[in-house]
């Protein structure tokens, strides 16, 4: 894939979290417009990024969900423009970006 031919990402929410950085490794932030992790190449948010996001937003679950929802919107735009015919479905992207969050409640049992 030639990156010079990829569409330019929009100026939506900047993916600046998780902020944990080391001098020897790239951060676990997304590489736009393909939305892969800069450090490990997995679809972002990778497992490591999810752990760091949970730790960084500990106790501020609404803030984390708003941040991830904004990035979900940007990812849907970028990924659709990269491959409009067989890109990931909105349901898959929701699960990838928002559905894993620590703010989910377990289903309640019937009395």
Is 67 in a helix, a strand, or coil?
helix
Average pLDDT, the chain: 81
Helix axes 47-56, 61-82, angle to 10 degrees: 150
The residue behind tokens 């892969």 is 36
Of 32, 35, 33, nearest in space to 46 by CA: 35
Beta strand ranges found along 23-96 (DSSP E): 30-31, 36-37
The mean-pLDDT minimum among 8-22, 40-54, 78-92 falls in 8-22
Asked if the model's pLDDT at residue 13 lies above 80, the reply is no
In tens, the pLDDT along 21-66 reads: 667 788 888 998 899 999 999 999 999 999 999 888 888 888 899 8
Provide mean pLDDT across the span 60-81: 90
**pTM as predicted:** 0.74
Taking the C-alpha atoms of residue 43 and residue 109, their distance in angstroms, rounded to an integer, is: 34
pLDDT at 45: 94
């Amino acid at each position: 894939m030639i990156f010079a031919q990829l569409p330019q990402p929009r100026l939506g929410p900047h993916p600046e979290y998780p902020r944990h950085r080391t001098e020897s490794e790239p951060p676990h932030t997304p590489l736009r417009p393909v939305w892969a992790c800069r450090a490990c190449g997995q679809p972002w948010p990778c497992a490591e990024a999810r752990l760091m996001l949970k730790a960084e937003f500990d106790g501020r679950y609404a803030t984390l969900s708003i941040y991830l929802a904004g990035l979900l919107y940007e990812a849907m735009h970028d990924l659709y423009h990269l491959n409009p015919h067989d890109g990931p479905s909105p349901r898959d992207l929701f699960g990838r970006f928002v559905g894993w969050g620590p703010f989910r409640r377990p289903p309640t049992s019937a009395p």
